[in-house]
Amino acid sequence: MSGEERLPVVYQINGRRLETTVRPGDRLLRVLRGLGEHSVKYGCDTGECGACTVLVDGEPILACLYPAIRADGKAITTVAALGHPDALDPLQAAFLAHGAVQCGYCTPAMLLAARALLARDPAADTAAIRTALAGVLCRCTGYVKPVEAIAAYVASGAEPAAATTPAPPEGRPALRSPAPRPGG
Ligand code: FES
Ligand code: FES
């Protein structure tokens, strides 16, 4: 298979259907950033830092390792789906209120990892929160304030401002690739 060959894919990025083409060896991080999704951070590019975390069909994955072709037909959620400066998601607001954002480079990944946790365990305790954040390297906060922010959000009983697990595009199967899930 030629390295220049391009394969058609259909993504649903934050609820928006998008058709594009990818090379067989492309990883999702570079494809998303090439599509303008710059909230997905480029860190180590080797699966170590977690900064590139996005949700694929609601599950956190490392986009720098995840094959772009494997996301065909799937729903991709970036931090842009949570809220925006004029209408923050309550979890984002909790991060700000608790001083959990310093340089901010890890923050999109932390928020998405937390959202994935809370989708399956809305009453997550501190231990579960720490486990959920363990894959995201933060050089600034020591994790104390992000954990406090998420715990405070859980205690508040607030609801998400936006869905973080949009349905796959119509007419496309949720799973199209038998490949393993590196970084998943
Ligand atoms: S960029 Fe560091 S884990 Fe993906
Ligand atoms: S806030 Fe700077 S890396 Fe986490």
Give all domains of the chain, ordered by start, each with its CATH number: 7-81 (3.10.20.30), 90-156 (1.10.150.120)
Ligand 2 neighbourhood includes 144 CB (under 6 angstroms): no
Ligand 2 neighbourhood includes 12 CB (under 6 angstroms): no
Q: Choose which residue among 139, 144, 145, 147 to substitute to test ligand 2 binding: the one with the highest number of ligand atoms within 8 A of its C-beta.
A: 139
pLDDT band for position 24 (50/70/90)? very high
Which is more confident, 163 or 48? 48
Kindly report the pTM of this predicted structure: 0.86
Ligand 1 neighbourhood includes 62 CB (under 6 angstroms): yes
Query: What does the pLDDT read at residue 171?
Result: 40
pLDDT band for position 173 (50/70/90)? very low
pLDDT band for position 113 (50/70/90)? very high
Nearest ligand 2 atom, CA 103: 2
In this predicted model, what pLDDT tens digit does every residue of 56-108 receive, in sequence order?
999 999 999 999 999 999 999 999 999 988 999 999 999 999 999 999 999 99
Whether 170 shows a pLDDT value over 50: the answer reads: no
- Dist CA 61 CA 110 (whole Å): 12
Mean pLDDT for 150-169 is: 73
Distance 33 CA to ligand 2 centre (A): 20
Exposed, middle or buried by CB within 10 Å (0-12, 13-18, 19+), for 37? buried
| CA-closest candidate to residue 113, choices 52, 161, 162, 48 | 52
Query: What does the pLDDT read at residue 179?
Result: 34
Query: What does the pLDDT read at residue 117?
Result: 97
Whether 2 shows a pLDDT value over 80: the answer reads: no
Nearest residue (CA) to ligand 2, atom 4:
138
| First and final C-alpha spacing in the chain | 26
Which is more confident, 1 or 31? 31
Q: Which residues, including other chains, have CB under 8 Å from residue 37's CB and lie 6 or more apart?
A: 13, 78, 80
Distance 171 CA to ligand 1 centre (A): 31
Ligand 1 neighbourhood includes 135 CB (under 6 angstroms): no
- According to DSSP, residue 87 is labeled B
Mean pLDDT for 120-124 is: 96
Whether 176 shows a pLDDT value over 90: the answer reads: no
Query: What does the pLDDT read at residue 3?
Result: 53
Average pLDDT taken over every residue of the chain: 88
